[in-house]
Amino acid sequence: MAGIVDYKTFLQQAKVEVLTLRALEARRDQMLVEQRQSNRSLENEKKAAEDDIRLTVRTKRDETAAGYDRQIAETEAKLKEVRGSRGDARGKGVTARIDAETAQLQEENRELKEQIQVLFKKYYVPFFCNNWFYYAIYCPKWVEEYLVLILSAAVGLAALPGIIYWLLPVQGLFWGVLVYVVFDALFIGVFGLLGGYIREDNSTALSGGRQLRDQIRANRKQIRVISRKIRRDKDESAYDLGHYDDQIAQLQQEISNITAQKEEALNTFDTVTKNIIADEVAAAHQEKLKELEDLCGQKAQELAGLESSIAEKNRLLDDSYAPHMGREFLTEERLDALMEIMQNSHITSLGEALGEYRQTHAE
């Protein structure tokens, strides 16, 4: 062990260097934690700045679009109102035209109805015979009248007896058959025989009424044809709707202009205004970002200095102490144990102390 004069001092100096290295490593580990925290704070602040920029830009863009959207909505409401007024005016014009072109047929139907009343009074026909239901039941001629007859028979012969049976306090086959037989007999008797008797007794008047009612039906069909033709007519020149059309065209053009202005404003926002807003918001975060960036740089610089000091201290231990005792003995505990061995025994060399330590701890 040439070169070592005082082993006790040698071991004490080694311990000082080891403790210094451990202190440097502890500081380095703490600095790594602080650096991670600083970097995280910097990233969070960058993200906050980005989020603030994104939110501010979106809000300002939405506000820009909303102003034009309100104008468009107001104009569209006016357009809807004008179109509604035009529709009402056209409807009134169509109604007036229908009334005018069907006036003769309407008047003819009123006269035919009066003729039926006169005819029925002349032959003393009961008043309830002068309606469409009576003719459908007792004098059917058209498809719709036969449908009414079939439906009425179904209701009278099947549905009504069933309802009466359901309301009875007693149930059973006998009562069911009895209800249907009695009710159907009454129904046929009243509506069949009585109605048939009235029809046979007033056949001349009813036959004349049939002809007049058929003429009324034909006139109504012709009125529907005329009405349908007028409603489908594309020529609206007769309804004086020009001023409505002018207003509609003007409002549609106004909507087109506002839409174009909106597109131009949003394009300007996306190409120019957005960048200005982003710069303003970024400037508000710049001071905090600079502070955190400086702190991260300071931590990185200090950490680099610590790493350099640790490397230098490791080289010192490897060059000055490890060759004499091995790197495995360069710990605080083992150095204290070696100093205790050399103090409490008559060992005078470091080699003997190392041998004693190995022998003691091997046991």
CA 273 to chain centre: 30
Give the percent of the chain with pLDDT over 70.
Answer: 95
pTM > 0.85: no
* Count: domains in the chain: 1
Q: What is the pLDDT of residues 67-103, one digit of tens each?
A: 999 999 999 999 999 999 999 999 999 999 999 999 9
- Run of H or E residues at 67: helix 7-101
Cα 129 to Cα 201: distance, rounded to the nearest angstrom: 12
* pLDDT for res 265: 93
Examine residue 152 and state whether it is found in any structural domain, yes or no.
yes
Examine residue 320 and state whether it is found in any structural domain, yes or no.
no
Cα end-to-end span (Å), the chain: 26
Phi, psi torsion values for 33, nearest 5 degrees = -65, -45
* pLDDT for res 193: 65
* pLDDT for res 1: 42
Q: Provide DSSP, 213-281.
A: HHHHHHHHHHHHHHHHHHHH----GGG--HHHHHHHHHHHHHHHHHHHHHHHHHHHIIIIIHHHHHHHH
Examine residue 134 and state whether it is found in any structural domain, yes or no.
yes
Examine residue 175 and state whether it is found in any structural domain, yes or no.
yes
Contact call for residues 97 and 238 (beta carbons, < 8 A): yes
Q: How many beta carbons lie within 10 A of that of residue 38, not counting itself? A: 20
Q: What is the rounded average pLDDT of the residues 8-32?
A: 87
Domain that residue 165 falls in: 96-249
Examine residue 224 and state whether it is found in any structural domain, yes or no.
yes
Q: What is the rounded average pLDDT of the residues 199-228?
A: 88
Q: How many beta carbons lie within 10 A of that of residue 250, not counting itself? A: 14
Whether the predicted pLDDT of 28 surpasses 90? no
Examine residue 287 and state whether it is found in any structural domain, yes or no.
no
Whether the predicted pLDDT of 241 surpasses 90? no
Task: Compute the CA torsion angle 92, 97, 103, 104 (nearest 10 deg).
Answer: -170
**Helical packing angle, 7-101 and 103-122, nearest 10°:** 60
Whether the predicted pLDDT of 199 surpasses 80? no
Least confident of 200-209, 275-284, 340-349: 340-349
Contact call for residues 31 and 296 (beta carbons, < 8 A): no
Q: Provide DSSP, 302-346.
A: HHHHHHHHHHHHHHHIIIIIHHHH-GGG-SHHHHHHHHHHHHHS-
Angle (CA) 277 280 282, round 5°: 105
Whether the predicted pLDDT of 326 surpasses 50? yes
16's tokens: 């000082």
Compare 36 and 3 and report the one with higher pLDDT.
Answer: 36
* pLDDT for res 4: 67
Examine residue 79 and state whether it is found in any structural domain, yes or no.
no
Examine residue 216 and state whether it is found in any structural domain, yes or no.
yes
Greatest mean pLDDT among 17-21, 46-50, 82-86, 339-343: 82-86
- The DSSP 8-state label assigned to residue 6 in this structure reads -
Compare 42 and 112 and report the one with higher pLDDT.
Answer: 112
Mean pLDDT, the chain, as a whole number?
A: 85
Whether the predicted pLDDT of 344 surpasses 80? no
Compare 173 and 54 and report the one with higher pLDDT.
Answer: 54
* pLDDT for res 112: 93
